[in-house]
């Protein structure tokens, strides 16, 4: 058996497991070895039934029987009940309000039960029961239950007549429907036992491992799946985190080096020149905006293509920075040419945003003798129109392509329609990507393809992320942060709302709606949870909430629904109706368009706020920042625990999204950190991002290595490891 052997060569795999493995993207032995536990349960918490006591939080393995769905005698609460047996005793299980659980586990199945023990007052008759009823008054209340095929080693031995107690930490793996932690555990152990680890090759140079006291790959793989103690687990995770961040840094730094070898357009415009443009705006630019513009102008003069990320909260005025720097480009002539201009491409993620941006650009640039155009999936436009030079006109795609190619269009705005091969520029000098996180890496790359020279690239985003994450995933970009909002905006009033104050809050909102304002309601889910799904998240859904509000609360208003499963055209229709005021309340999942401008929407309700990260909450409330009316954000929570109150206080007082992103990173458990997939970073690496020192070390080592040996010719193992990572990426993109 080899690392890249398919798992089937290891053991027979049943259909449900095959499906689950596919979902978890596990194909080979190596994939499984890299499927890391999310946490470790201590075997100490694995117990026999005979030893249980009230208040214990434990894991018990046993056989289940007497499964029943019933109703409480007096309370009328529906519940599921069952009995669990091992060699040392019996115990009752009760699932309040979850009667269906009793139907999901077959009678007599071997199960793993994890939960807390409650006790009811013992009935007198209990004393007369057999010794097997060691704990008659104890019961599991709403425990997690999982069917298993066998009891884990080291536990089973002692539980079911085996010998010796093991003190290993038992790993708990990310599961998927059809596959359990136990299955994963056993198969990983089988792979390790096969001796295959002797053939793994460590891609990280030994001197680096030594310098940072990191275990070798082989040791780390054993440590992560079968740690003898906590230190092992920690050391292993640290190593894998370092490895990942180090590799990402190598990739990014390499790209950066390649990029900087390219020739670009030298655009030499000073601040005084740009002032002729900026002074036409009805407001003074913020210091942050001016700094960003100066930085970009400086990059433009270097002759090397710029690659810069502009991060700024919603409403921080990124468009004005993009437009002012675009002005520098379209007022520059191509080299050795005394006519025409250099060209700008501006890509936005949706038709609504692209169209909105095209209209803004007409306002900004209409006083100049240039042509602008818009390209989206549904058509093309050009400004100025020949017939009416104050407005735009529809043109054919072919006409547009011709004008872009011969250089007559100075600014082309569009959706991803902009990156089709047929769209060719004559002198594309500056490419701007708005809401860049909405595009895939390949789409971003496609926009800056080389014509003769490489265009300068400005990527813009409002997604607040912690500094360590930015340093890692944007290691190939220079960073500018707009850390200042334009003055005079009324800050959003943010109010946490406890369940008992829900109705009163609806009445406040009704007043706003009656005054002609509009409202967003954000829910954590699209649909009601599938009642057959075990432990499905109980949270409000967009569809059901919209129905409930229409029937019970806001009968007099139009309510729309929006979520990711709608077709794009449908989404745009709903947004359009909301924008036009035909819909008063938009109930939506968190997909609601970032950056869409509906100034009349001044209220946002966020349901189930516990389920969102603070930076995500901050972004959501940014939807109502665009108005001169006072904006409100009501944060509905299902509980008001100390932690919730503390988090929501941070939300109320934080100055910007970046502060909140740091807070999220620090205070939410690493497993809870939202979006590791979104960033293309594993959970283990996400954990590492809490450690600025480690990220900086990985970055420094990557830089040093590439400076000494740009092609990594002395590090063939590292080279092939990077190549394999890349293949993986392309495969899953
Ligand atoms: P974002 O950074 O979210 O893209 P926009 O560029 O859309 O923000 O700007 C939001 C609003 O703020 C726009 O209406 C814009 O005209 C306005 N704005 C931008 N800069 C300033 C400024 N310095 N002072 C006042 N208003 C500004
Ligand atoms: Mg914007």
**pLDDT per residue as tens digits for the range 169-201:** 778 887 777 787 778 888 898 898 888 888 888
Judge if 23 and 50 occupy the same domain.
Answer: no
CA 171 to chain centre: 25
CA of 80 to the centre of ligand 1 (A): 56
The number of the ligand 1 atom at minimal distance from the alpha carbon of 314 is 3
Mutate to test the pocket of ligand 1, among 284, 317, 348 (most ligand atoms within 8 A of CB): 317
Longest dimension (CA), the chain: 105
Lowest-pLDDT range of 6-20, 505-519, 531-545, 551-565? 531-545
CA of 333 to the centre of ligand 1 (A): 29
* Residue 223 CB-half CA count within 13 A: 19
CA of 362 to the centre of ligand 1 (A): 16
| For residue 516, pLDDT beyond 90 | yes
CA of 184 to the centre of ligand 1 (A): 51
**Which ligand is the nearest neighbour of the Cα of 434?**
2
Judge if 551 and 507 occupy the same domain.
Answer: yes
Q: What is the pLDDT of residues 305-324, one digit of tens each?
A: 999 999 998 889 999 999 99
The average pLDDT across 395-420 equals 95
**Would residue 257 count as lying in a domain?**
no
Judge if 407 and 454 occupy the same domain.
Answer: yes
CB distance 287 to 335 below 8 Å: no
| For residue 97, pLDDT beyond 90 | no
Q: Name residues whose C-beta falls within 8 Å of residue 149's C-beta, 6 or more positions apart in sequence.
A: 110, 182, 183
Confidence of residue 528 (pLDDT cuts 50, 70, 90): low
The CATH number of the domain where 366 resides is what?
3.40.50.300
Q: Which of 655, 688, 712 is the last residue of a domain?
A: 655
Judge if 28 and 68 occupy the same domain.
Answer: no
Q: What is the pLDDT of residues 113-167, one digit of tens each?
A: 888 888 876 554 544 444 444 445 789 988 888 777 777 654 433 333 333 334 4
Judge if 526 and 641 occupy the same domain.
Answer: yes
pLDDT of residue 518: 95
Q: Name residues whose C-beta falls within 8 Å of residue 541's C-beta, 6 or more positions apart in sequence.
A: 523, 524, 525, 526, 527, 528, 529
Judge if 635 and 516 occupy the same domain.
Answer: yes
Mutate to test the pocket of ligand 1, among 325, 486, 487 (most ligand atoms within 8 A of CB): 486
**Would residue 554 count as lying in a domain?**
yes
pLDDT of residue 134: 44
Both structure tokens of 207: 């001197």
Lowest-pLDDT range of 378-387, 474-483, 594-603? 594-603
Kindly write down the DSSP assignment for every residue of 367-421, as one continuous string: TSS-EEEEEETTEEEEES-SS-TTS-EEE-HHHHHHHHHTT-EEEEEESGGGGST
Q: What is the pLDDT of residues 54-81, one digit of tens each?
A: 777 788 889 999 988 887 767 677 888 8
SS3 17: helix
pLDDT of residue 98: 76
Judge if 529 and 590 occupy the same domain.
Answer: yes
Judge if 156 and 88 occupy the same domain.
Answer: yes
Residue with the smallest CA separation from ligand 1 atom 10 is: 315
Q: What is the pLDDT of residues 204-227, one digit of tens each?
A: 999 999 999 999 999 999 999 988
CA of 5 to the centre of ligand 2 (A): 48
Give residues whose Cβ lies within 5 Å of ion ligand 2. Answer: 595
- Residue 26: count of CB within 10 angstroms of its CB: 20
**Would residue 140 count as lying in a domain?**
yes
Nearest to 181 by CA among 141, 225, 229, 241: 225
**Would residue 422 count as lying in a domain?**
yes
Element (H, E) at 46: none
The average pLDDT across 529-545 equals 59
Q: Which of 655, 675, 707 is the last residue of a domain?
A: 655
pLDDT of residue 130: 45
Lowest-pLDDT range of 158-167, 181-190, 479-488, 518-527? 158-167
Judge if 612 and 634 occupy the same domain.
Answer: yes
CB distance 79 to 98 below 8 Å: yes
Residue 340 zone, left/alpha/beta (φ > 0; ψ -120 to 50; rest): left
The CATH number of the domain where 165 resides is what?
2.40.50.140
Residue with the smallest CA separation from ligand 1 atom 9 is: 317
CB distance 33 to 53 below 8 Å: no
Judge if 7 and 48 occupy the same domain.
Answer: no
Q: What is the pLDDT of residues 435-468, one digit of tens each?
A: 887 787 788 788 887 667 899 999 999 888 888 8
Lowest-pLDDT range of 109-123, 492-506, 533-547? 533-547
**Would residue 71 count as lying in a domain?**
yes
Question: How far apart, in whole angstroms, are the C-alpha atoms of residue 696 and residue 692?
Answer: 6
**Average per-residue pLDDT in the chain?**
84
Q: What is the pLDDT of residues 233-279, one digit of tens each?
A: 889 999 999 999 999 999 999 988 888 889 999 999 999 999 999 99
Mutate to test the pocket of ligand 1, among 277, 291, 315, 349 (most ligand atoms within 8 A of CB): 315
Q: Which of 602, 635, 655 is the last residue of a domain?
A: 655
**Would residue 218 count as lying in a domain?**
no
Confidence of residue 511 (pLDDT cuts 50, 70, 90): very high
Segments forming the whole domain that contains residue 344: 267-301+317-461
Lowest-pLDDT range of 333-337, 596-600, 693-697? 596-600
Question: How far apart, in whole angstroms, are the C-alpha atoms of residue 397 and residue 378?
Answer: 10
Torsion of CA 543, 548, 549, 551, to 10 degrees: 120
Judge if 290 and 426 occupy the same domain.
Answer: yes
In Å, what is the CA distance from 115 to each residue of 61, 146, 498?
12, 12, 28
Q: How many structural domains compose the chain?
A: 4
**Would residue 311 count as lying in a domain?**
no
Judge if 522 and 430 occupy the same domain.
Answer: no
Question: How far apart, in whole angstroms, are the C-alpha atoms of residue 591 and residue 729?
Answer: 25
Question: How far apart, in whole angstroms, are the C-alpha atoms of residue 470 and residue 657?
Answer: 14
pLDDT of residue 164: 35
The number of the ligand 1 atom at minimal distance from the alpha carbon of 284 is 23
Both structure tokens of 415: 């959706």
| For residue 46, pLDDT beyond 80 | no
Q: Is 61 exposed, middle or buried (0-12, 13-18, 19+ CB in 10 A)?
A: buried
Residue with the smallest CA separation from ligand 1 atom 25 is: 486
Which ranges of 489-596 does DSSP label H, i.e. alpha helix?
502-514, 542-548, 568-579
Question: How far apart, in whole angstroms, are the C-alpha atoms of residue 596 and residue 625?
Answer: 11
Pocket around ligand 1: residues whose beta carbon is below 6 Å from it? 283, 285-286, 289, 312, 314-320, 462, 486
3-state secondary structure 301-354: CCCCCCEEEEEECCCCCHHHHHHHHHHHHHCCCCCCCCCCCCEEEEECCCHHHH
Residue with the smallest CA separation from ligand 1 atom 26 is: 486
**Would residue 335 count as lying in a domain?**
yes
Q: In the 8-state DSSP scheme, what is residue 552? A: I
Residue scoring higher pLDDT (520 or 87): 520
Q: In the 8-state DSSP scheme, what is residue 35? A: S
């Amino acid at each position: 058996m080899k690392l890249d052997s398919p798992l089937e060569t290891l053991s027979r795999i049943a259909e449900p497991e095959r499906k689950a493995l596919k979902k978890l993207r596990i194909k080979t032995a190596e994939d499984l070895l890299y499927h890391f536990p999310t946490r470790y349960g201590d075997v100490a918490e694995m117990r026999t039934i005979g030893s249980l006591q009230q208040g214990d939080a434990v894991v018990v393995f046993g056989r289940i029987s007497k499964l029943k769905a019933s109703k409480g005698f007096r309370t009328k609460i529906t519940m599921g009940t069952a009995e669990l047996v091992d060699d040392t005793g019996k115990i009752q299980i009760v699932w309040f309000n979850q009667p269906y659980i009793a139907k999901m586990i077959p009678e007599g199945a071997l199960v793993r039960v994890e939960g807390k023990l409650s006790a009811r007052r013992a009935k007198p008759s209990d004393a007369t029961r057999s010794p097997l009823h060691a704990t008659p008054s104890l019961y599991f209340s709403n425990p997690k239950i999982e069917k298993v095929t066998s009891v884990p080693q080291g536990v089973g031995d002692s539980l079911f007549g085996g010998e010796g107690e093991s003190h290993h930490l038992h790993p708990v793996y990310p599961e998927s429907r059809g596959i359990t932690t136990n299955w994963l555990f056993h198969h990983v152990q089988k792979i390790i036992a096969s001796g295959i680890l002797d053939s793994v090759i460590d891609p990280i140079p030994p001197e680096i491992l030594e310098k940072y006291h990191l275990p070798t790959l082989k040791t780390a793989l054993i440590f992560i799946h079968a740690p003898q103690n906590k230190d092992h687990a920690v050391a292993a995770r640290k190593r894998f985190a370092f490895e990942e961040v180090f590799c990402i840094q190598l990739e990014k730094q390499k790209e950066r080096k390649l990029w900087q070898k390219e020739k670009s357009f030298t655009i030499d415009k000073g601040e005084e020149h740009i002032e002729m443009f900026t002074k036409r705006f009805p407001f003074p630019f913020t210091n942050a905006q001016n700094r960003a513009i100066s930085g970009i102008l400086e990059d433009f003069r270097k002759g090397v293509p710029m690659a810069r990320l502009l991060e700024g909260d919603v409403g921080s005025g990124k468009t004005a920075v993009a437009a002012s720097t675009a002005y520098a480009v379209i007022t520059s002539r191509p080299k050795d040419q005394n006519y025409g201009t250099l060209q700008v491409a501006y890509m936005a993620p949706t038709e609504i945003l692209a169209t909105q941006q095209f209209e803004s650009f007409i306002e900004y640039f209409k006083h100049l003798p240039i042509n602008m155009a818009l390209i989206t999936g549904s058509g093309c436009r050009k400004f100025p129109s020949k017939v009416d030079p104050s407005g735009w006109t529809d043109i054919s795609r072919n006409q547009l392509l011709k004008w872009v190619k011969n250089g007559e269009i100075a600014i082309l705005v569009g959706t991803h329609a902009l990156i089709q091969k047929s769209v060719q520029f004559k002198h594309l000098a500056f490419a701007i990507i708005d809401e860049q996180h909405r595009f895939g890496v390949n789409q971003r790359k496609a926009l800056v393809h080389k014509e003769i020279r490489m265009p300068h690239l400005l990527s813009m985003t409002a997604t607040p992320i912690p500094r360590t994450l930015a340093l890692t995933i944007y290691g190939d970009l220079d960073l500018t942060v707009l850390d200042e909002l334009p003055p005079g905006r009324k800050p959003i009033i943010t109010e946490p709302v406890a369940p008992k104050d829900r109705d009163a809050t609806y009445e406040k909102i009704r007043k706003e709606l009656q005054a002609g304002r509009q409202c967003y309601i954000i829910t954590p889910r699209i649909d009601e949870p599938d009642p057959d799904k075990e432990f499905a998240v109980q949270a409000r859904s967009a569809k059901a909430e919209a129905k409930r509000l229409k029937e019970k609360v806001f009968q007099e208003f139009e309510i729309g629904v929006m979520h990711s499963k709608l077709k794009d055209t449908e989404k745009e229709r709903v947004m359009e109706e909301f924008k036009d005021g035909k819909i008063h309340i938009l109930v939506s999942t968190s997909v609601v368009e970032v950056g869409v401008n509906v100034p009349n929407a001044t209220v946002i309700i966020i349901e189930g706020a516990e389920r969102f990260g603070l930076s995500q909450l901050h972004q959501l409330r940014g939807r109502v920042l665009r108005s001169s009316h006072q904006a409100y954000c009501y944060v509905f929570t299902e509980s008001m625990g100390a932690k919730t109150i503390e988090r929501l206080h941070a939300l109320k007082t934080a100055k910007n999204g970046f502060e909140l992103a740091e807070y999220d990173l620090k205070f939410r458990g690493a497993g809870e950190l939202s979006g590791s997939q979104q960033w293309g970073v594993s959970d283990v690496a996400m954990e590492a991002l809490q450690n600025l020192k480690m990220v900086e070390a990985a970055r420094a080592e990557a830089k040093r290595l590439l400076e000494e040996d740009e092609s990594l010719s002395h590090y063939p193992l590292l080279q092939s490891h990077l190549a394999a990572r890349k293949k993986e990426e392309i495969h899953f993109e």
